Chains A and B, each alone.
Chain A
Amino acid sequence: ILNVEQSPQSLHVQEGDSTNFTCSFPSSNFYALHWYRWETAKSPEALFVMTLNGDEKKKGRISATLNTKEGYSYLYIKGSQPEDSATYLCAFGTSYGKLTFGQGTILTVHP
């Protein structure tokens, strides 16, 4: 069983704060690292898929970095808004197709 760890488990921030979370994954047999956003009562939706060491992706106020050699990825949110409140999931992909998810980081942004 692949070990994909996310930290922290939950996070409370004030509107306007910037924040970041971590996803740790095995450094061997790496193929891709996915980030998903999961709002309550909805289905997870993809934010980023990263495949190369040193990859940086950005979508609006959200960005992500990838270090495959040491096995971690960071997700950053700049100037958090209440609508950013959600669970953020990372998933580790291997070459044979399986995607293994971490437990998620629950973000709550207070107005």
Chain B
Amino acid sequence: NAGVTQTPKFQVLKTGQSMTLQCAQDMNHEYMSWYRQDPGMGLRLIHYSVGAGITDQGEVPNGYNVSRSTTEDFPLRLLSAAPSQTSVYFCASRMQGNTGELFFGEGSRLTVL
């Protein structure tokens, strides 16, 4: 089972460049989310979606865009990368409602120079 698949695993960008982190899940999960992980900060929620066509902001949404055109995919876009966006990004999904556990992708390490 593929579960949650994130690509790319590693990426180096220059300030001002744009890129998209891809996330796909094959578990028919309605809820998908993006987190960033920084030293000493735990996991901070960037954006989340409770179903196709529905997205909402998390704790740290600035500088990131998302869309949810299908149940399976939830891409995260950086329109103009900044060094402050250097981080490890995790996509996670679960069944609708808060009683289902989150399933995480393997993470994407992004460095912005």
Contacts and interface: CB of A to CB of B under 8 A. Distances in A.
B98 A94 contact: yes
Interface residues of A, number: 24
A46 B98 contact: no
Given A43-B106, A97-B31, A100-B59, A51 B99 contact: yes
A28 interface: no
Interface in A27-68: 31-32, 34, 36, 43-46, 49, 51
B102 A44 contact: yes
A99 B106 contact: no
B101 A34 contact: yes
Interface of B: 31, 33, 35, 40-45, 48, 50, 56, 58-59, 90, 96-107
Given A51-B99, A98-B48, A89 B107 contact: no
Contact of B41 (A44, A93, A98, A103): A103
B44 A32 contact: no
Given A44-B43, A100-B45, A103-B42, 18 more contacts: A34-B101, A43-B104, A43-B107, A44-B104, A45-B104, A46-B101, A49-B98, A49-B100, A51-B99, A91-B102, A97-B50, A97-B98, A98-B58, A99-B33, A99-B98, A100-B59, A101-B42, A102-B42
B42 A49 contact: no
Contacts of A91: 43, 102
Interface of A: 1, 31-32, 34, 36, 43-46, 49, 51, 89, 91, 93-95, 97-104
Contacts of B97: 97
A103 B40 contact: yes
Q: Which 4 A-B pairs have the closest CB atoms?
A: A93-B98, A46-B101, A43-B104, A103-B42
A95 B97 CA distance: 7
Contacts of A31: 98-99
